């Protein structure tokens, strides 16, 4: 069995419609928070580190790709845009930016 096929089988539980919708909504909410209030995650204006903003932007990209149903064919693409890595990151980003939505 090829490695890309193995990764596809690992991501199969998240390929169902409810999970794709959750990831798309979470990615959209996080993208809005990042675009409207970048001071929540920016390195110079918050207590978070330098790599947090790119990490959350990667999660938004992965969440949109997965939520819309795009599936990379190459091994590198499947590893880079793994939904099992993006979902906890999206939830963590929403937890970090909860002040934007609740205030």
Q: Where are the domains of the chain?
A: 17-100
Mean pLDDT in the chain?
Answer: 84
The region of weakest confidence among 29-33, 38-42, 79-83 is 38-42
Q: What mean pLDDT comes out for the span 7-36?
A: 84
- Amino acid 63: pLDDT: 93
> Does the structure show a pLDDT above 70 at 96?
yes
Q: What is the pLDDT of residue 51?
A: 84
46 or 55: which leads in pLDDT: 55
**pTM score, whole prediction:** 0.81
40, burial (CB in 10 Å: exposed 0-12, middle 13-18, buried 19+): buried
């Amino acid at each position: 069995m090829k490695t890309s096929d193995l990764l596809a089988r690992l991501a199969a539980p998240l390929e169902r419609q409810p999970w794709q919708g959750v990831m798309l909504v979470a990615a959209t909410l996080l993208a809005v928070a990042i675009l409207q209030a970048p001071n929540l995650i920016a390195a110079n204006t918050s207590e978070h580190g330098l790599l947090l903003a790119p990490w959350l932007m990667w999660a938004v990209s992965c969440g949109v790709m997965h939520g819309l149903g795009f599936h990379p064919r190459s091994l590198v693409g499947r590893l880079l845009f793994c939904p099992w890595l993006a979902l906890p990151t999206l939830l963590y980003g929403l937890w970090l930016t909860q002040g934007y939505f609740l205030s």
